[in-house]
Structure 1
Amino acid sequence: MALLRDLGLTLGKWAGRPGLTLQKDSGDPEVPRVREAAEAADWPTVRAILEARPESEDRTELLWAVADAAGVERWIDPVIEAEPDAPLPRLVAGIRHITWGWEARTDARAKDVSREQFDVFHARLRIAESRLYEAAEREPGWTSPWYGLQVTGRGLQVTKDTARRRFEATLRRAPLHLGAHQQQLQHLCAKWNGSHEEMHAFARASTFGAPGGNLLGQLVAYAHIEHWLDLDRGEDAAYISGPQVAASLNEAADHTYRHPDFQRNRGWLPLVNTFAMAFSLAGDRAGARECFRAAEGRVTEAPWYYLNGDDPTEAYRKMRSLAGR
């Protein structure tokens, strides 16, 4: 993490930055709507919004917006009792228990998490798994339950074979599901008992095995960021500034947002933010400027929170300045 210190990227309370907008989601207008409905325990509205977004169009972000609302675990069980054959309430309950479980664990390193916290974390994830399997049984064609099981699997530290089977189950239903690929990438990270070699191989195979212009090129950028984060002082800067990293990023960019078939659909803004950070760390100012120009000051929390958890916009601003924007 030496490069952070060299750039002076220190933590500080976010107070907003002129000309920058912190965007906590992809910009989908249904996300704040469904979040507000969940916070108000308004199941009819939550259900209507979720049902209007078919699984084929990936409603993952909407489900996480519901799951982030405090108290969902209290009102969703009566809904399940009232609709015993309905898969959607079970899916919502499963995703909520994932978020609720991570709230108990917190984002602290494992060594700083107490045994009691881990017990609550694992108990909630096991409830999540039960609900997700129930949803999958009722709607075998749905993708979201299997995506959720990828997340619970990481928290419960399932075997690599089990993680792979859950990933493949998601892909059989949605071959280009970005969230599923992101979860599998995390399973393969060194910090989750994977390796840098496995992670990079997966990112490249997924990116270049898919049609040009899709969002999976983001995996290559994330893999380099994850590799950099895992290294010690000195090694991190030497790795990320190597010419092979910039070359890899440009190759992925050519296959993704530079490709003539690329469209600015849901998910494009987090993608260009991710490449902006990766190019910046790699010292490729031209590549970074291109992404900053596309983002137009719209800052997504991920991946900038890796640089400044309290103020992602400050990290974005400093990197943009270094790129000459």
Structure 2
Amino acid sequence: MVNTMASMLPFGRASRTTVKHPVAGLPADDEVLLDAPDDRLGPALVAAGQGDHEPAAALLAGTRRHGQWEYRDRYTLHLAAFARSRPEWLESWYAAAPQDPDALLIRAQVAVDHAWRSPARAEVLRGVSPLITAAARADDGDPVPWRIALDHARGSRAGHTYFGELWEAALRRAPRHYGCHVAALRYLASSWHGSHRECLDFADRAAQDAPSDSLVQALPTRAVLAYLNDDCGPGVPRERLDQAADRAVALSARFPAADLWPAVIRNKLTYVLVRLGRWEDALEQLRLIGPYATSFPWSRLSDDPLGRFLEVRDEVGLRVAASGAARGGHPHSGRAGRVHSGDH
């Protein structure tokens, strides 16, 4: 079984003082951004900070009109996170347009986020159901309320029958929506605690049925990440872990380097590759990530996710350099440096 992250990772804060120059192909530490918004979301957040909800409303309306469900889901999460600390703009938006599908969507996400932080989570979540229902009814073709409903089902410990109904409803609206697949995977991981093979089976089936450029190709890596951070249940063969990572590596290669959009996928993939000891593959993903760090998964390791991300970069660079020196200065790509299957 895999050890906990604390005992598995060699990253220590002391390593930051040993790296005086950035590794080739990586931006300098002070150029790296955490959870950076894209060119569409950034202005909406700035306006919301000034009390103006119109840019956020226009942004979400555009994603709904053009069926940009993955963007819509990410923007919803970011805007809801902002509204938790600065709610005035959302309150004025809802007061002005109480039937607006986009305002209803943000309100539902904020309510679920708030409930998840409550000690009485299940009880509080039961009171949130009407908000999710209102968001779903406001636009019947939008899958994002159903992703929220799947998260709600996990937190309220809903049974499998009810979950199955939600899952089918989500698939009817967007059968390849990554956010809904992640929500479903997290529900299964929660209800099948320790049954990581079953979760990997679910993720593998979804990836096999999805196009090669679909974000769902990264779903098995999400299942592997959960497995690597859990100390219960039977072990999963090393080959399956590598196959999941390889699938995500192939997906990552389809996107441009230093692109904000795939950074979420690439940060999680880097985490998994490091846990698997695939240092050269991890370095390649860090080069592709460029300046775009994400809080998750590094927040699992530290209250300073950006600092931990930078520590990981340093350590990976040092590992690859040492490996190249040991081989006469000729490092190669691939699965070099992986731990043996019995080591996990």
Structure-2-length-normalised TM-score: 0.75
Q: Is it true that 1:9 corresponds to 2:22 in the alignment?
A: no
Residue of structure 2 in register with 1:57 after alignment: 68
Q: Is it true that 1:286 corresponds to 2:288 in the alignment?
A: no
Partners of 1:72 and 1:96 within 8 A in 2: no
- Indicate the SS of the match to 1:154: helix
Mapping of residues 57-76 of structure 1, within 5 Å: 57-58=68-69, 59-69=72-82, 70-71=84-85, 76=90
Mapping of residues 76-87 of structure 1, within 5 Å: 76=90, 79-87=93-101
Residue of structure 2 in register with 1:25 after alignment: 35
Residue of structure 2 in register with 1:219 after alignment: 219
Partners of 1:136 and 1:146 within 8 A in 2: yes
Instruction: State the percentage of identical aligned residues.
Output: 21
Residues 1:149 and 1:190: Cα distance change in structure 2 (over 3 Å) = closer
- Indicate the SS of the match to 2:293: strand
Q: Is it true that 1:96 corresponds to 2:110 in the alignment?
A: yes
Partners of 1:9 and 1:307 within 8 A in 2: no
Which runs of no fewer than 5 residues in structure 1 stay unpaired? 106-116
Residues 1:78 and 1:191: Cα distance change in structure 2 (over 3 Å) = same
Question: Which segment is superposed worse, 152-161 or 290-299?
Answer: 290-299
Q: Is it true that 1:246 corresponds to 2:242 in the alignment?
A: yes
Residues 1:306 and 1:61: Cα distance change in structure 2 (over 3 Å) = same
1:24 Cα deviation (Å)? 3.9
Distance 2:143 2:12 in 1: 40
Residue identity in the other structure for 1:201:
D
Mapping of residues 237-316 of structure 1, within 5 Å: 242-254=238-250, 256-258=251-253, 262-264=254-256, 267-310=261-304, 311-316=307-312
1:186 Cα deviation (Å)? 0.6
Distance 1:64 1:252 in 2: 23
1:203 Cα deviation (Å)? 1.1
Which runs of no fewer than 5 residues in structure 2 stay unpaired? 23-27, 322-344
1:280 Cα deviation (Å)? 1.6
Residue of structure 2 in register with 1:146 after alignment: 146
1:72 Cα deviation (Å)? 5.6
Distance 1:154 1:45 in 2: 32
1:205 Cα deviation (Å)? 0.8
Residue identity in the other structure for 1:85:
Q
Residue of structure 2 in register with 1:177 after alignment: 177
- Indicate the SS of the match to 2:51: coil
1:297 Cα deviation (Å)? 4.6
Distance 1:81 1:297 in 2: 39
Answer with 1 or 2: which has the greater Rg: 2
Residues 1:176 and 1:92: Cα distance change in structure 2 (over 3 Å) = same
Residue of structure 2 in register with 1:230 after alignment: 230
Residues 1:97 and 1:287: Cα distance change in structure 2 (over 3 Å) = same
Residues 1:90 and 1:269: Cα distance change in structure 2 (over 3 Å) = same
Count of aligned residue pairs for this structure pair: 301
Residues 124-180 of structure 1, C-alpha deviations (whole Å, 9 max, x = no match): 433432112112223211122111111111111111232232233222212221111
1:181 Cα deviation (Å)? 1.0
Mapping of residues 152-171 of structure 1, within 5 Å: 152-171=152-171
